[in-house]
């Protein structure tokens, strides 16, 4: 059974950016592994870091359970994710535990450093994960090297735009119209984050924003029947798989290639 590992910075990042595609891969017979770098320990205006982290771990696990997915947290702290040896070994450990055929992570450029540093760590850890003399562990246990490099897909940045506010062009667009309600339900599992965004930023459009961004990406599909979509760019650096893994898994009716 092929495996996809979605690994992102915080609880709810996966649901916002790629949960629809994960749901479709699950329907296609794939195993789903979801991981977050942090437990979201700064995501509250009232609770302590320990209490909100506990709440958000449970929310992330609840969301993953809706897909029958495995969930893991790598226990970094919010706003501290930074590329380095110890961090790369920790990420390598979860990659070796998941042993994915495909990884989905943040794009190299996104609205905050936790996302961008996660992207770099995941890419470099994926390369290192196949090297026998590179040591890594997961949950205190040594891990064996992966047999192959996974394909890496970068999900859309938040709001589908780069640092200059320009709309990002994807390599692939996935029609998630059939699973938008499941994607919404998974995001709704993160109730504490909706409360925090309301208090911190004065916003109360948590799920509406996700659906609006998915509607915006659907424009790239070029078909009126496609109401919601997710976009991805594929890492095409040396040695990494370059074939269109999404079309192979989900079919060309569901995936539009813009490469």
pLDDT for the residue 43: 87
DSSP state of 112: S
Backbone angles phi, psi at 173, to 5 degrees: -125, 130
Mention every residue, 6+ apart, whose C-beta is less than 8 A from residue 229: 173, 174, 175, 176, 177, 214, 217, 218, 220, 221
Q: Tell me the pLDDT of the chain averaged across its residues.
A: 95
> Which pTM value belongs to this model?
0.95
Q: Residue 241: name the closest of 155, 129, 151, 154 by CA.
A: 151
Mention every residue, 6+ apart, whose C-beta is less than 8 A from residue 126: 95, 103, 149, 150, 152, 240
Q: Which is it for strands 3-8 and 102-105: parallel, antiparallel or unpaired?
A: parallel
Q: What CATH topology corresponds to 3-257?
A: Rossmann fold (3.40.50)
Q: Spell out, as residue ranges, where the chain has pLDDT lower than 50.
A: none
pLDDT for the residue 197: 66
């Amino acid at each position: 059974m092929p495996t996809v590992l979605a690994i992102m910075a915080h609880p709810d990042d996966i649901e916002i950016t790629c949960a629809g595609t994960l749901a479709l891969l699950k329907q296609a017979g794939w195993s789903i592994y979801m991981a977050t770098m942090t437990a979201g320990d700064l995501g509250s205006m009232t609770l302590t870091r320990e209490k909100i982290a506990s709440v958000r771990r449970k929310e992330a696990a609840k969301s993953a359970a809706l897909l029958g997915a495995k969930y893991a947290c790598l226990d970094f702290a919010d706003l501290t994710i930074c590329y380095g040896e110890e961090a790369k070994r920790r990420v390598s450990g979860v990659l070796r535990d998941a042993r994915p055929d495909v990884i989905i992570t943040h794009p190299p450029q996104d609205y905050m450093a936790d996302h961008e540093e996660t992207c770099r760590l995941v890419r470099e850890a994926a390369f290192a994960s196949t090297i026998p003399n590179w040591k890594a562990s997961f949950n205190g246990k040594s891990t064996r090297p992966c047999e192959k490099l996974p394909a890496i897909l970068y999900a859309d940045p938040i709001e589908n735009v780069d640092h200059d506010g320009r709309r990002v062009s994807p390599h692939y667009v996935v029609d998630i119209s059939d699973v938008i309600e499941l994607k919404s339900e998974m995001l709704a599992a993160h109730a504490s984050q909706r409360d925090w965004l309301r208090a911190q930023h004065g916003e109360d459009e948590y799920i509406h924003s996700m659906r609006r961004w998915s509607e915006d990406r659907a424009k790239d599909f070029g078909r009126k029947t496609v109401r919601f979509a997710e976009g991805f760019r594929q890492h095409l650096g040396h040695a990494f798989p370059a074939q269109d893994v999404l079309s192979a898994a989900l079919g060309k009716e569901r995936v539009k290639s813009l490469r």
